[in-house]
Chains A and B, each alone.
With several copies, the nearest count.
Chain A
Amino acid sequence: MDQLNGREQQEFQKLVEQKQMKDFMRLYSDLVQRCFTDCVSDFTTKTLTSREEGCVLKCTEKFLKHSERVGARFQEQNELLMKNMR
């Protein structure tokens, strides 16, 4: 990013903030869709059974921990890549 000057940095920063909310929304929607798909397949009832709800909650925790861990490794790999490019 060293090629952007002050004003450009600022403009870019504004873009980043606009996108962060969208990213969060996307990950949230992905989580809901995945946990629903993996946990819910009984359509004889209109609300979640307790078994389905338990599965959804565990799936939520696992997905969050998974995406955190991917995030940590992603950052490390990215820094490694940047270093090798210089």
Chain B
Amino acid sequence: MSFLGLGGGAPKLSSEQKVQAAEAELDMVTDMFNRLVDTCYTKCIEKSKGYSEGDVNKNEGLCIDRCVAKYFDTNVKVGEHMQKIGSSQFPGRR
């Protein structure tokens, strides 16, 4: 479990720090899941007809599958690009 390479090589963490790192990773995975549910719902679900059916139809289903795949793809591409251009300059506020 090493989302975004977190935690991978870091040596000699205290027990408390290791559990905290695992918690941070869990929070990030949960956050990504919530964002996916939200974003792909907006992109894929047809509500123009006032929810004419409770099922996810075939078109919507395919769209959801690809939406998730492309979101992961985007996540990876953004991470690689940030490393390339030097993400160290990132947050600006510190």
Residues of A within 8 A of B (CB): 1, 3-5, 7-8, 11-12, 15-16, 18-41, 43-48, 51-53, 55-75, 77-78, 81-82, 85
Contact = CB atoms under 8 A, between A and B. Distances in A.
Contacts of A36: 39, 70-71, 74
Given A30-B37, A33-B39, A40-B74, A62 B45 contact: yes
Contacts, number: 198
Interface of B: 1-5, 7, 15, 18-20, 22-24, 26-45, 47, 50-56, 60-79, 81-82, 85, 87, 89-94
A37 B19 contact: no
Contacts of A68: 89-90, 92
Find the residue from A3, A15, A35, A41 having the highest chain B CB count within 10 A. Answer: A3
Contacts of B71: 32, 36, 40
A38 B29 CA distance: 22
A69 B90 contact: no
B74 A32 contact: yes
A86 to B, nearest CB: 9
